[in-house]
Chain A
Amino acid sequence: MTVVVAGVGIHPFGRFPLSVAQLAQTAVTEALADAGVGFADVDLTVVANVGEGMAKAQRIAGRLGATGRPVISVESACASSAAALLAARDAVESGHARVALCIGVEKAPRGYIAGAGFESWQVESGVGVTPIYFALQAQELLASTDATVEDLAEVSVKNHANGVLNPNAMYRKPCTVEEVLASKMVCPPLRLLMLCAPNEGAAAVVMMSADEAVRRGISRPITLRAVTVATRRPGDWFVPAASRLSDIRSSPTRTAASAAYDEAGLGPADLDFVECQDTDTASELLAYSDLGLCAHGDEAKLLRSGDTQLGGRIPVNPSGGLLAKGEPLGASGLGQVHELVTQLRGQAGVRQVSGARVGLAHVMGAGHVSAVTIMVAG
C-alpha cells in the first residue's frame, strides 16, 4: 500500500516562553489544516520527544482533543522523529490506521547534550561528552582524506547562508570562514560555529494511504517511498560506545541508506536534494559518502565543487540544516520532513531547489541510531 504525507506543520526552532504542548499544538494545527483533516480523523498519534517525562505523549496530544484513540511515545535520541515515522508508516501500510499523525517536539536545555546513553562512569570520568565523538571522527576525516579545517568551516558557511532564507531557522545570520575559524574551540578541531546547538521547536506530519488521500480529494500528496532505521553493527562507532573494533569500520548511516535505496527502488543519482544530520560539519561531510553522494575520500572535493550548495547539482541542507535551525532533538527529523515536503511541493520560495522531485532526509542519534527517509513528489 502506498503511504503519502498529506500535511505538514512546524513551530519555528529557537527559544520560546512556551510549553512543549504549546509548541506542538502550533505545529499540529498547521499540519492538520494542511491535510484538511481534524484530530478526530486521526487513528494513531506518535509523539517523538527526548526530554519530557512520564505520559508526555498523552499530555502533549491532550491539548488536541479526547478522541480515545491510541497515542504512543517514541524516543531514539536525535533520531526520535524517524522512529515516529516508522511506527506511523507501518500503521498506515498495514491498514491499522487510516490517518496517522507524527509529532516531534522538544525543549532542550542549552549546551552539550547530556545523558546521551552514557554509563555514569563515562560521564564522571570525562569521556561521556558527546562532542568528543564528533571531534575524533573529524580528526580521522582530516587525517585520512584531503579535507581541511577550512572545509569544515565552509560547510558551516554554506548552511548558515541557507538558514538566512529559512524563516523557521534559529540562526538567520550569514557567517564567513574567518568567523567560523575564530569562534570558540569546543573539542579540537571543532569550533562553536561548526557544531549545532540544542534548542526548542516542533514539527508535525499527517500520513495516510494514497487511496485515502484520493478519497479526501487531497491534490498534491507526497509519497513516502522509504523509512529505514538502523542501529549498531560491529564496525560502527558512535555515542555512547566506550570502545570500537579496530579492524573493521562500518557506519549505521550506510546501513540505513542502503536499505532505504532498496526500499524506494531509487539510488543516490535519483536524488534532487538532501537534508542530513549536520550535528557538526564533519558529520555532514561523512554523510556525503555514507549516503552515496560520493566515494569516501571525495567528501571535500564534492563540497568544493559547489554541488551541495543551493543551486548546485545536489543541494545538501537547503533549510540551513541543524547548524542554522538548531537541534530540537525529538523534532529535528520531522523538521527535515517539513522541508522535504515544502521543497517537493515547490513552495520553498527563495530557497527552492529547482525541479525538486526526490528528496532524502537523514538523522543520526545517540545509541548508534541512523535513519533515512526518501520522499517523492506526486
Chain B
Amino acid sequence: MTNVWLADELVWIDDRGTSAGAEVRLNATHCPECGRFSIPATGTCEWCGAAGSDVAIAAEGEVVASTAVLHATPGAIVEVPYVVALLRFEDAKLDLLGRVLGTDDPDAIPPGTRLRVVADTLPDGRLHYAFVQ
C-alpha cells in the first residue's frame, strides 16, 4: 500500500512507506561546500547555493519555543486549537517548525523538552510529519 504524503519530499525516502504514529526521519539537503543542512530538501544549499545531496536527519530534537493556534486559518486543514514548536536538531544545526500532537497547551512542552518526529494522519487522510513527546 502506498502512503500519500502532504509533501513527501520532507520525509526521508526509506521512511515514506511507514504508517501513522511511526517515527520518521526528515529529508534534508547536505551541502558539500559549507557543510550545512537545509529543509525542505531542494538539492540546493539554502545558505550558500551549492548543489547538495539528500540525507536523513535525526527523528528527535529539543523544543526551542512553542505557541498555539487557537483560531482557524484559511486554507489549513487541521483543526484548532493546536500547538506548534520550533524543534532543534542539534547535529544538523537546524530548527524546524512543526505541529505538536497530544497537547493543547504550549506550556506543557517548555524549552528543552525532547520531542520525536512521527508520521501523522491529516483530516483528509494524507500523512505529514508532526512532533510528539
Contact = CB atoms under 8 A, between A and B. Distances in A.
Interface centre among A112, A123, A125, by most B CB within 10 Å? A125
B93 A187 contact: no
Interface string A116-142: 000111011111110110011001100
A79 B71 CA distance: 26
A186 interface: yes
A176 B93 CA distance: 42
Contacts of A123: 73, 75-76
B64 interface: yes
A243 B47 contact: no
B89 interface: yes
Interface stretch (A152-160, A244-252, A261-269, A338-346): A244-252
Given A112-B74, A126-B73, A140-B65, A188 B94 contact: no
A242 interface: yes
Given A127-B97, A242-B96, A246-B93, A139 B66 contact: yes
Contact of A246 (B67, B88, B98): B88
B22 interface: no
A245 B6 CA distance: 24
Contact of B111 (A121, A131, A143): A143
Contacts of A40: none
A185 interface: yes
Contact of A187 (B67, B76, B90): B67
B1 to A, nearest CB: 22
Nearest to B26: A243
Contacts of A120: 75
Interface in A238-291: 242-247
A243 B73 contact: no
B58 interface: no
A125 B98 CA distance: 9
Nearest to B39: A243
B39 A242 contact: yes
A242 B46 CA distance: 12
Nearest to B40: A242
Nearest to A123: B75
Given A124-B75, A247-B93, A188 B67 contact: yes
B6 A125 contact: yes
A243 B94 contact: yes
B59 interface: no
A121 B128 contact: yes
B50 interface: no
A125 B93 CA distance: 24
Nearest to A185: B70
A120 B66 CA distance: 22
A191 to B, nearest CB: 11
Nearest to B106: A188
A156 to B, nearest CB: 18
A135 B66 CA distance: 8
A338 to B, nearest CB: 31
B13 interface: no
B15 interface: no
Contacts of B111: 143
A306 B6 CA distance: 49
B114 interface: no
B83 to A, nearest CB: 9
B95 A243 contact: yes
B114 to A, nearest CB: 15
A357 to B, nearest CB: 40
Contact of A245 (B36, B40, B82, B84): B36
A114 B73 contact: yes
Given A136-B86, A187-B67, A124 B6 contact: yes
A124 B122 CA distance: 9
A241 B74 CA distance: 19
Contacts of A62: none
A334 to B, nearest CB: 27
16 contacts: A114-B75, A124-B6, A124-B75, A125-B6, A127-B84, A128-B75, A131-B69, A132-B97, A139-B66, A140-B64, A186-B70, A187-B68, A243-B96, A245-B36, A245-B94, A246-B94
Interface of B: 6-7, 10, 36, 38-40, 47, 64-71, 73-78, 82, 84, 86, 88-90, 93-99, 106, 111, 122, 128
Given A132-B97, A140-B64, A237-B95, 19 more contacts: A112-B74, A120-B75, A121-B10, A123-B75, A124-B6, A124-B78, A126-B82, A128-B73, A129-B76, A132-B67, A143-B65, A187-B68, A234-B47, A242-B96, A243-B96, A244-B94, A246-B88, A246-B89, A246-B95
